[in-house]
Amino acid sequence: MKKCFSILALLVFAFTHNAGAQKVSELKFYDVKDLIAQGDAVMIGQAEKPTADSCYYYRLPNKLKGIVRKDLWELGCDGAGIAIRFSTDAQCIGAKWTLTYNFGMAHMAYTGIKGMDLYVYDKEKEWKFAGTAFPNGKNSASVFVRKMYGGKKEYMIYLPLYDGVEKMEIGIDSTATIYAPSGALLPENTRLPILFYGTSITQGGCVSRPGMAYPAIIERKLGVPTINLGFSGNGRMDGNMADWIKTIPVSAIVLDCLPNCTYNTTRDSSDYFIGWIAYSNPNVPVYLVNNFEYPQQFILPGNNDDMVQENILIKEIYKRLKKRGTTIKDPETGQEIKTGPLKNLRFIDVSKEKGIGNEDTVDGNHMTDLGTAHFSKRLLKHIKH
């Protein structure tokens, strides 16, 4: 008798619990492109607004296709750092999205690679995590959060870190409405964005969800939009990337690309890449970040020697450029430009356990959520905004 009662109670609980839960199929969906066109949503995190000949959610503009390396272009199709701002009085929020690649990796959660996550702006004026939309195929559909308190709130959805989005829709319960966003992290209410250029670590490898990439953490902490130009394995100071980056209106630039650069790349490419960007933006602080110390570096002599030597080199380059500047050949005119001292350069030292801790990585170099929390905290001591 007791066993039958327990089973009956469990069935009643399951019925009452699921009765209030909403399925993604029950939501009313709105195409994000239409919401933006109507002024009911805003996309942040792109260096340039999309044009008719480009994919709406890519990080690199179409004009760079065929100019940058193929690997760079394909990584530029990923959604890292791009977010959708909107407001709604919904009690349930979901999403549908079509992926570019339906990509996967062994050492990173699919929720970070090709999922999305939702943040809400609370009464304390902080962005708080609200829910994750789990990917379930090239054409994904998922609910972020159900059964919320009613009332109009400000929201932000981060796009996938390691896959692109071809189409995206936001779903809400049928009695709710999507409104134009207001307040935090909107272009008209904040300073120009901070641009981060770097590697897979900048892009977000290997966090559990998009909002945990370190540029996104800094974005929420400072209340300033960020542009994530992290390119997994390909943050190599390409000259044509410098030609583009120098034209982007920003309030600060963080160059964190040494993990993808060899000693020779750093020696040969820094003057043009760093010098061209800093010279073209004299009133914008340009931060150079060195290599952090990998947890297992002490048992890998070759790796340790390379890192140490590269860190010595970048510090020497920084001092020389800041004090004397360099000479740059303008790729369009062929004119040689003497920059003079590049006084807007700044240096952030994250070596010797100043950047991450011993338990902060998945594989010795790519950070977990804990690692990006620690790393962003370190950078925030230097980035003045």
Is position 9 within any domain?
no
**What span, in angstroms and rounded, lies between the C-alpha atoms of 296 and 358?**
8
**Residue ranges in the chain whose pLDDT is less than 70:** 1-21, 303, 385
Do 342 and 236 share a structural domain? yes
Is position 15 within any domain?
no
**What span, in angstroms and rounded, lies between the C-alpha atoms of 217 and 367?**
13
For residue 248 the two structure tokens come to 């982007």
The pLDDT value given to residue 55 = 85
For the residues of 210-247, what is the DSSP string, one character each? GGGSHHHHHHHHHT--EEEEE-TTT-S--HHHHHHHTT
The CATH number of the domain where 78 resides is what? 2.60.120.260
Do 172 and 211 share a structural domain? no
Q: Which of the listed residues 145, 179, 213 is the one where a domain comes to its end?
A: 179
Do 368 and 310 share a structural domain? yes
Which residue spans within 89-126 are E strands per DSSP? 93-99, 116-121
**What span, in angstroms and rounded, lies between the C-alpha atoms of 279 and 58?**
27
Is position 18 within any domain?
no
Residues in the chain: 385
**Contact assessment for residue 289 and residue 379, using Cβ atoms and an 8 Å cutoff:** yes
Do 169 and 206 share a structural domain? no
**Contact assessment for residue 341 and residue 330, using Cβ atoms and an 8 Å cutoff:** no
**Contact assessment for residue 329 and residue 336, using Cβ atoms and an 8 Å cutoff:** yes
For residue 87 the two structure tokens come to 């407001």
Q: How many domains does the chain divide into?
A: 2
The pLDDT value given to residue 198 = 98
Is position 251 within any domain?
yes
Do 232 and 154 share a structural domain? no
Is position 14 within any domain?
no
The pLDDT value given to residue 87 = 98
Do 172 and 256 share a structural domain? no
**Which residues form the domain of 212?**
190-380
The pLDDT value given to residue 385 = 65
Helix, strand, or coil (residue 61):
coil
The pLDDT value given to residue 352 = 78
Q: Give the number of other Cβ atoms within 10 Å of residue 343's Cβ.
A: 13
For residue 25 the two structure tokens come to 């199929």
Is position 46 within any domain?
yes
Do 153 and 234 share a structural domain? no
**Contact assessment for residue 121 and residue 202, using Cβ atoms and an 8 Å cutoff:** no
Do 303 and 201 share a structural domain? yes
Is position 17 within any domain?
no
The pLDDT value given to residue 6 = 43
Give the CA distances from residue 80 to residues 168, 222, 322, in Å, rounded to whole numbers and listed in that order.
15, 18, 31
Q: Is the pTM of this model over 0.85?
A: yes
Do 287 and 143 share a structural domain? no
CA 77, 79, 80: angle at the middle one, nearest 5? 115
Do 132 and 200 share a structural domain? no
Q: Which of the listed residues 118, 146, 179 is the one where a domain comes to its end?
A: 179
Q: Which of the listed residues 127, 158, 179 is the one where a domain comes to its end?
A: 179
Do 208 and 151 share a structural domain? no
Is position 155 within any domain?
yes
Do 223 and 108 share a structural domain? no
Which residues is 171 bridged to in the sheet? 29, 94
